[in-house]
Chain A
Amino acid sequence: MSTNLFNIYVFINQRAQEDVKNLHLVHSREAFKYIGGLLLKSWENAGEVEFSKWFRNELIVPPYNNWFIGCVNEMFEPLPHPDTTNPIESFNNTMKRFIPHPVSMSSFLNEKMPTILNHCLEDYCGVQFDTSISQAKYMAMNSIGRLILEKASKLVSMNNAMKIPNISQVKERSGEDAFFLNTKRNMVNVNSKASNNGDPVTPFRIKV
C-alpha cells in the first residue's frame, strides 16, 4: 500500500517487458528466431493475438531484427558495439542545455552553432572528467562550462548569507544550538544574531 499522493496506474503488461528484455540477451540468430517464435506463440495462447502480430511485424522481421546481443558478432568480428543510442541522446541534451528554447534560424547558425562546434572540437563530448585540473580547465575554457561556473558562483554568493547547516557541524556546537535540522525548510541566516534560528523559512524570514 502506498501512502503518497502520486498513485499512477500504468497499463504495462509486466510479463511482456521482461520477455523482451530476456530476448535481448540472446547470443545467436537461431536462438533469437526459436525463442522469439516461442514468445509469440505464448502471447497468442494467452489471447494477445493483436499484440503478437504487431511485435512480429515490427521486431522479428527485417529490417529491425538486429537488436539482440549477438547480432553484430555473426557478421563482423566481435567488437564492443553499443546497445542503446544513449551517447547521442546525451549530446542532444548538451545542446538543449545551451539552447533551452527555439531560436531564429539566423541566430542559430551565426551564434549558437559555432559555440556547439567549438564545444565538439574541444573534445569534451561524452568524456568523463577524472581530475580536478581537467574539470577546472573545462570550466574555464568551454563556453557551456563557463555558464555552469557563473551559476555556481551565483549560488555561492547567495549561500554566503543563507546557509544550510550540516548536522555534523551542529553536533560540535554548544547545547543551545543543537536543535538545528538539516532539512530544506530549516535554513539559517548565519549573520543574524537572532536567537530563533532554525525556524521554518517564510518569505518574511528570508528578508531578515
Chain B
Amino acid sequence: MTSKKVTSREVLLTKTDQEIVVFKTFDQQLQIVPNSTPVVFPGVIFSCKGLLKNLEEAISVQHVLTMMTDTTFKLVVGQWVLMITGVIDTVVKSHGNNITHSFRPILFGLALSENVVGYTALFSTLLEIAQWAFAIPLSITNIVHCQDRNDAMCKAFQSTFKDCKFVIKPCIVHILRNVRQNAKLMVNREFLEVR
C-alpha cells in the first residue's frame, strides 16, 4: 500500500473507486515486559472511495443511522485484527417469516487487538469523513449502534459520539451465549442431554 493519508475532498476525487485510501493512522503502545518502555505499533484506518457512497446514502436516507461494528481475527499473520464498521439497510426484505437486513461496509481498520485507541480512530474517522468527503457536509445526529458487547468498542463509541443521540444495542445472540457461558456460576445446574 503506497497511498498517503487523504484528508480533503480534492485529493479524494483524484482517486478511483476501487483504490485503497488511507484516512488515518494511529499509534498503539504495547508493553511487552512490565515496567519497561512500551513498543509503538502503527495502526491504520482505510477504505475506498466507492464505499463512502454507503455512508452518504445512509445519512441522507435514514433519519436514524443504523451502524454495526465488529472485528475479525485470523486474516493476517500475527496478532492483527481487522475492524469493520458499516451501516445496515433498514429497508426490510422479508422472506416468509424471516426478516433480513443487509450490511454495507464503510471503513476498515487494522489494529493489534480490540483496543480503545483503534476503535476511537475508527469512529472519529467516520465522524470526520461525513464532514469533508461529500459535496454537502453531512452531520451525524442520531445513531443506533449494534455490537457484540465489547467494552473497548462501547467506551470508544461513547466518547466519540458524545454530542450525538445514540443507543448502544447489544446482540441478543451474544447475550444468550454469555448467559450459557456464565452458567458455571450457578449452584444448582440442571443437566441437559443433547443428542
Partners in one complex: yes
A interface, CB within 8 angstroms of B:
2, 4, 6-17, 20-21, 24, 46-48, 50-51, 54-55, 58-59, 63-64, 66-67, 71-72, 75-77, 79-92, 95-96, 99, 101-105, 108-110, 112-114, 117-118, 120-121, 125-128
| Pairs across A and B, CB under 8 Å, 25 listed | A8-B194, A9-B191, A9-B193, A10-B191, A12-B180, A12-B183, A14-B192, A16-B183, A17-B179, A24-B175, A51-B185, A67-B170, A71-B169, A72-B169, A76-B144, A76-B167, A77-B64, A82-B66, A85-B147, A89-B70, A90-B103, A102-B75, A102-B77, A103-B76, A126-B100
CA distance A39 to B102 in the complex (A): 34
- The interface residues of chain B, by DSSP majority, are classed as mixed
- By the criterion CB–CB under 8 Å, are B51 and A120 in contact? yes
Given the known interface contacts A72-B144, A84-B173, the answer about A117 and B51 at a Cβ–Cβ threshold of 8 Å is yes
The residues of A that contact B104 with a CB separation of less than 8 Å are 120, 125
> Is B20 located at the chain interface by the 8 A CB criterion?
yes
Chain B contributes a number of interface residues (CB within 8 A of A) equal to 75
- By the criterion CB–CB under 8 Å, are A114 and B173 in contact? no
- Determine which of A2, A64, A118, A126 lies in contact with B101 in the assembled complex, contact meaning CB atoms within 8 Å: A126
Looking at B50, B78, B144, B179, which has the most chain A CB atoms within 10 Å of its CB?
Answer: B179
- By the criterion CB–CB under 8 Å, are A79 and B90 in contact? yes
The residues of A that contact B102 with a CB separation of less than 8 Å are 87, 125-127
CA distance A75 to B142 in the complex (A): 10
Q: A51-B185, A66-B170, A121-B48 are in contact. List 8 more A-B contacts (CB 8 A).
A: A12-B180, A76-B64, A79-B144, A80-B101, A82-B66, A91-B86, A102-B75, A103-B76
- By the criterion CB–CB under 8 Å, are A80 and B190 in contact? no
The residues of B that contact A54 with a CB separation of less than 8 Å are 182, 185
> Is B6 located at the chain interface by the 8 A CB criterion?
no
* B87 vs chain A, min Cβ distance (A): 10
> Is B56 located at the chain interface by the 8 A CB criterion?
no
